[in-house]
Amino acid sequence: MEDKTEENKELVPIFIMGKRYEVPSSLTIQKAMEYAGYQLVRGCGCRGGICGACGTVYRFPGSYKIEVGLACQTVVQPNMYLAQIPFFPATKSLYDIEKIKPNIETLMKAYPELLRCLQCNTCTKSCPMDIEVMDYMAAAMRGDIARLAELSFDCVMCGLCTSRCPAEICQYNIAILGRRLYGRYIAPSAVHLSSVVQDVEKGKYEQMLRGLMDTDEEGLKNLYNQREIEPEQADENWIPQDRTYL
Ligand code: SF4
Ligand code: SF4
Ligand code: FES
């Protein structure tokens, strides 16, 4: 006779670091771990698929395949065996972006192991963001900074590619160097941003910021609640009525 409650019917077995738990089938891996009693101090940041802190590997019984996902974005499935990889040691080069050039020599000097890439595609298969990691590595090896930056744009630096690379390369730190070089030297500068930066340097916002720092909590709440909010249907030309700081 069926004796499960409605709630129990929705429970599924999962294995967290080898130990069996029954968790609601609608939960993400992250919430399921908390449901099972884990307190996530590391390996948990934005909870929204942005920070990359929650890289997770899992397998199903009888399958050779290692699956990957972000714990905050991946819903549990029955009988998954999982472990989070909250941090994976990575090579990280130090450089002064003002003193380097956007070329292949810079990439090679910062990460000489780049040339060890076998083009095996394991990194692409390990990426929870569906990024063509092998292709951006190929762009890096060609010194094509713009392509490296473009292909790696959605990287959340979770480290899953690095954890599986047979050439022991840290792809995401190479990619962020590429994006920094692209932003500093290759991308056309945004005119409106340059003018705001000039305003900042001239001290246009100093008085306003000092005023905010001198305002008590209640005053800050009032300012926040009374601020002019962009209408939901506003087009890109919308500007607030108070243009004091524009
Ligand atoms: S996993 Fe490593 S060796 Fe393989 S393609 Fe990616 S970077 Fe190259
Ligand atoms: S490229 Fe690597 S570090 Fe970036 S999101 Fe993909 S697996 Fe994570
Ligand atoms: S907690 Fe930030 S991506 Fe999952």
- 172 CA distance to ligand 1 centroid (A)? 12
Q: What is the pLDDT of residue 3?
A: 47
Share of the chain above pLDDT 90, in %: 83
Q: What is the pLDDT of residue 78?
A: 98
Q: State the chain's maximal CA–CA distance in angstroms.
A: 78
- 27 token code pair: 């939960």
Answer whether 229's CB lies under 8 Å from 241's CB. Answer: no
Instruction: Residue count of the chain, please give it.
Output: 246
Q: What is the pLDDT of residue 5?
A: 52
Burial group, residue 194, by CB count within 10 angstroms (0-12, 13-18, 19+): exposed
CA–CA–CA angle 134, 138, 142 (5° rounding): 170
Contacts of residue 115, defined as CB under 8 A and 6 or more positions apart, other chains included, come to 108, 141
Of 182, 199, 188, whose CA–CA distance to 246 is shortest?
199
pLDDT in tens, 177-233: 999 999 999 999 888 888 899 999 999 999 999 999 999 999 999 999 999 998 988
- 55 CA distance to ligand 2 centroid (A)? 9
State how far the Cα of 101 lies from the Cα of 97, in Å rounded to an integer. Answer: 8
Of 85, 43, 78, 44, whose CA–CA distance to 62 is shortest?
78
Q: CB count, 10 Å around CB of 73?
A: 17
Share of the chain above pLDDT 70, in %: 96
246 — pLDDT class (breaks 50, 70, 90): confident
pLDDT in tens, 6-30: 445 699 999 999 999 999 999 999 9
More confident residue, 108 or 239: 108
The model's pTM: 0.81
The residue contributing the CA closest to ligand 1 atom 4 is 120
Q: What is the pLDDT of residue 9?
A: 63
Residue listed under structure tokens 């056309």: 188
The residue contributing the CA closest to ligand 3 atom 3 is 49
Is the pLDDT confidence value at 1 over 80?
no
pLDDT in tens, 140-190: 999 999 999 999 999 999 999 999 999 999 999 999 999 999 999 999 988
- 144 CA distance to ligand 1 centroid (A)? 17
Indicate the SS3 state at residue 8.
Answer: helix
Answer whether 146's CB lies under 8 Å from 182's CB. Answer: yes
Residues with CB under 6 A from ligand 3: 44-47, 49-54, 70-72, 156
**Which of 85-94, 108-117, 204-213 is least confident?**
85-94
Question: What sign does the dihedral 59-127-170-96 (CA atoms) show?
Answer: negative
Q: Which atom of ligand 3 is nearest to the CA of 47?
A: 1
The residue contributing the CA closest to ligand 1 atom 8 is 117
Q: What is the pLDDT of residue 242?
A: 86
Answer whether 183's CB lies under 8 Å from 145's CB. Answer: no
Q: What is the pLDDT of residue 26?
A: 96
